Amino acid sequence: MSTHSEPLHSKSTPEKLVYMANQIGTFFKSQDTATASAKIAEHIVKFWDPRMRKAILDHLDAGGSGLDPAARRAVETLR
């Protein structure tokens, strides 16, 4: 049973990746909303393992539940 009080590491991989992508998005949106999606995508390409990138793309293909709009746009550009 999952609750909001559980630590992040207890969540499933897609939930962790969505959380991470959204956190990256929060940072870049605070700097410049116009370039946030491009910077999120650049960060993911530079710092995420290829398996993580594949998993977030698979999650997007399954509907992308939980992704903020800027993070969703960023992941869409990874194709």
Question: pLDDT (tens digit, 9 = 90+) per residue, 27-74?
Answer: 999 999 999 999 999 999 999 999 999 999 999 999 999 999 999 999
Q: What are the φ/ψ torsions at residue 43 (nearest 5 degrees)?
A: -60, -45
Determine the number of helices (DSSP H) and then strands (DSSP E) in the chain: 4, 0
Residue 16 counted as domain residue:
no
7-30 pLDDT, tens digit each: 545 456 999 999 999 999 999 999
Q: Whole domain around residue 55: which residue ranges?
A: 32-79
| Residue 57: Cβ-neighbour burial (10 angstroms; 0-12, 13-18, 19+) | middle
CA atoms within a 13 Å half-sphere pointing along the CA-CB vector of 69:
4
According to the model, what pLDDT value does residue 30 have?
96
64: alpha, beta or left, given left = phi > 0 and alpha = psi -120 to 50?
Answer: left
What is the tally of structural domains in the chain? 1
pLDDT for residue 43? 98
pTM: 0.83
Structural domain contains residue 51: yes
Let me know if residue 61 belongs to a domain: yes
